[in-house]
A and B are shown apart, each in its own frame.
Chain A
């Protein structure tokens, strides 16, 4: 073979090799690099997601337990004022403890607009006047304190009614709460 042909072959094969490297191998390598980066990212994401999943799975496993707890808490601190239910409960307590409710008044506490998002609960002030004997009033207050809905008896004034020591008048100021829907 003539040397010229050899040179032509060398140059041609060299150029072909360069073309193959530039047009095929280089893009494949670049794509592989990007795949490796994506793969590393996906692996990290997978680890994070799996640990997150483990936490959530444990929350799901405890769902019934948490739900029971939530229902109990909802009784103590309802989502809405539920005044009709509250009034009914108070009258039921009075009936059960043999106390007469002379007067009952509710007042929702006012919250400033700027504090509205910072205050988790709204208050309802309950102003009650009861009539009954010492033990009946005691029993009534005690039942209010331990009833499912949270009621904080704040002020109590007991006095005899017209000199009759078995018939007392009790002036009670209590507070109950419900969730403030604007709280963030």
Chain B
């Protein structure tokens, strides 16, 4: 576990107001994705994946969830990848 390479990022996903709960549920089911908070129509999530590529791939899937309007990247740590 300790040697596993991981890229950790956080995002704010914006959803249609009447779809926020459904979007949050769909997000939570994705591998490595955790929903931490819902603030109005904004959902705070983290993505844990083995690489920036895998993280980006996962985040790019968010827009395919019905009701998602925007995906904003807030923070990404890739020290396991670049160091």
Binding partners A and B: no
Interface residues of A (CB under 8 A from B): none
Q: Which residues of B contact A (CB under 8 A)?
A: none
